[in-house]
Every structure is written in C-alpha cells, then in structure tokens.
Amino acid sequence: MISYKQKISAKAIELGFLDIKYAKAEQMEPEARNLEKWLEQDRQGKMSYLSNHFELRVDPTKLVPGAKTVISLSYNYYTEDSQSDPEAPKLASYAYGRDYHKVVKKKLKLLLQYIREELGDVGGRCFVDSAPVLERDWAKRSGLGWVGKNTLLINPKKGSYFFLAELIIDLKIEPDHPISDHCGTCTRCIDACPTDAIDDKGYIMDGSKCISYLTIELKEQIPQEFQGKMADYMFGCDICQQVCPWNRFSVPHQEPDFEPKEELMKMSKRDWKEITEEVFDHLFTGSAVRRTKFKGLKRNINFLYDT
C-alpha cells in the first residue's frame, strides 16, 4: 500500500521538483545559537532583516501554529547556457529567466493543494526564500544535502544549482535523516572566492563581503576595497558553485520559465555599459534582477568599469 508520504513525494517530482525530504517541526538547536553568533559578529552586513523575528526563524511552530512537519524541496536551475560576450558583465545563472520566487511558489501551492485534496483539511504554509525560515538548515536536517564549506546546500548526486522551498504543515510525517558532509579536505570554493567572503576553514560566510550581497542586497555604494575583485559580476555570483567538484553531477533544468531571453544573452559589454531604463524593463520583466532596480544594476556596472 502506498503511504501518503510516498504520494506526496511522487506528486512533488511530477510537479518538477528535483528532490523532497521531511523533518520534524521543532525548536532549532544548535542552529539558533549559530545564527545568534553569526549576527553578533555582524556578518549580515546591512541585511538588518535577518535579525528580525528571531523566534519565528528558529521555531516553525511559532511561524505556523500546530506545525508538525517541515517538508524541504529542491528545484533545479542548472544551465549550460552562458552570455555570448566573454567580456560582458555577468549575471548569476539563476537570474537568467523568470523570477524563481514566482515559479517555485506556484508549484509549491499546487503541492499543498494536492495534499489537501488527498488528505483533507491540512493546515500549512508555503515558503520560497520569502519569510523567516532557515531553509538550508531544514534542508540539511531532512537529508536533502549537507551545508558545504561555501555555505550552500550540496547534494552528492545533484550538486548545488537548485533553489530551496518549504512546506510547513500540521500533518505528522515520518522524518528523513541528515546525510554526511562530503566536502573533505577540498578548499576550492575558499580559494576561488575573490573577495575572501568564505572563512579560511569554510562553513562560515561573511555576508558583507559576498559578491551577491554587494550587487543585490547592498543599497549604498560598493566599498572601494572591492574594486577589481568582483570577477565582472553585476548581479549575484556563481564562482563557489562553478569550482565545486560536486557540480559535475548537475544536469540542465527542464523549466521553460528559466530559459533566458535571446537578446539578454547576446548583450555585449558595450550594450551593458550603455543600458537604458527602457531596455532594463524589457530584459527583466518578471525577473529576479528587478530586485536591484535599474539604478542598482547601473551602479554595479559602473563600479566594475570605474566610470
């Protein structure tokens, strides 16, 4: 007889998710203390929102009353596409297509709807990088992967080019188990980071030095100390994933919404330097890049070329 856990998992894969695992919803220790220490060291930079709603962040039963299970899911975005001009300022590959928040959230809502159709009045909420949820910690607890030295979740069969999403529900489901860390003695991500954002021993990220933070989260001018260290990224960064040996197992995504506009990929260095707000709006309709706005992207491009 097929269990409802098996049914939910099968439906998730049918909807396009890469993987799905389960954990018991409970107060998080030692994750809460680790987060507290990280915040005390000001590694969050200007991301002050990470200090907000601390109790909700470390206890899903306060975020979703009656919560019994945290379902963690991954959604592949790996692509072999790349921008045609090797000298053009670069986008992180996750931002090539439609905003993942919208794409993955829609799928997650369909999964929750399916659970309710199959099992009745199940209470719960969907999360895609949009609320105080420690998604990597929950994914690690459930066995979706381990948190690598680059602080990203890594799966031994699927790499790390995937988004994370969570369903927190009031249905008790047998939990899965964490898997072992397989980073070993490898230091490729640490060695490759041009801004030294990753701690020398790994597993700790100084958010205030990360290129993704500098090009997206930081609203002020990028500090001059990072001049010449941005590896030509104007939005996000892929370096610590590009060098990770586990990503040899990544396979191209099958999500049409993540396919980039042809004209976006053909933009030259000169096109980007001369980009207008009108072109920005056309290229990035429905894109995660809109988060930085035209003014922010222009700031990033100017910083790269010191103009």
Is 72:145 a contact under the CB 8 Å cutoff?
no
> Are β-strands 153-154 and 19-24 bridged in parallel, bridged antiparallel, or unpaired?
unpaired
Q: Which of 129, 181, 199, 232 is catalytic?
A: 129
274: Cβ–Cβ under 8 A, 6 or more apart, which residues? none
129 annotated active-site: yes
Q: Number of helices and strands (H, E) in the chain?
A: 13, 8
Q: What angle (nearest 5°) sits at the alpha carbon of residue 211, between those of residues 208 and 217?
A: 60
Give the strand pairing for 233-235 and 90-91: parallel
Listed as own residue / partner, the contacts of 277-282 with beta carbons closer than 8 Å and 24 or more positions apart are none
The C-alpha atoms of residue 144 and residue 288 are separated, in whole angstroms, by 24
> Active-site positions?
129
